[in-house]
Amino acid sequence: MFRLQGSKVLAVDMTGDAVKAKNGSMVAYDGQMTFKKMSGGGEGIRGMVTRRITGEQMTVMEVSGHGTCWFADRASEINLVGLQGDKLYVESSNLLATDAGLRTGTSFTGLRGASQGNGLFTTTVEGHGQAAIMSDGPAVVLRVSRQYPLTVDPGAYIAHQGNLSQSFQSGVTFRTFMGEGGGEAFQIRFEGDGLVYVQPSERNTIAGDV
């Protein structure tokens, strides 16, 4: 049902089923489609309340009908992720669309080191189906094994899946090393067995100078 046209446009072929997509990301469609805005992005009222508390907010729309709908967002690169009953953790700003077989929610991912106990939350996608995630530039998928843990700059992190644990540690980034950072720096360390998706661009994060 999900297919890419180029690297920056997602085409979804529908035969009466539905997908959830980032609000405003539809660029074209043919056939008969209906669009319904969904506040929160999680499952039901509980998902909406959780997102308001955590700040991990999404505004999504449900698209259903017969035909093809095309989605894109700010010329971002799009990556397709197939799930077979497992769970994908993804930054809400990087999630473009999920098909009807997937559920979305919010997950607590841990405490940021030396940050006065502030928690970090991320969006979860789980079930059987496909998800489309976005990246600023072509995404790189990095394998994490028990022998080789992985440390990632939060500004480059997009998503991860598999049997991974994550922790937050203080560290020196290139920007702090060059004297361009002004706040606390931290990195995300992944251990276990799974995949981590990173982008070749750093967005602004709550870490201040990552």
Q: Can you list the domains of the chain with their CATH numbers? A: 1-196 (3.60.160.10)
Give this prediction's pTM: 0.81
Beta bridge partner(s), residue 196: 142, 160
Least confident piece of the model among 39-43, 162-166, 168-172, 193-197: 39-43
| Residues 102-118 pLDDT 10s | 998 887 766 543 343 33
Q: What's the pLDDT band for 86 if we cut at 50, 70, 90?
A: very high
- 139-184, pLDDT tens digit by residue? 999 999 999 999 998 889 999 999 999 888 776 555 555 555 544 4
Nearest alpha carbon to residue 102 among 132, 139, 64, 140: 132
DSSP 158-179: EEEEEEEEEEEEE---HHHHTT
Among residues 21, 30, 25, 42, the alpha carbon closest in space to that of 105 is found at 42
Q: Token pair of 10, please?
A: 């997602």
Non-local (6+) Cβ contacts of 172 within 8 A are: 185
Task: Supply 203's token pair.
Answer: 């967005």
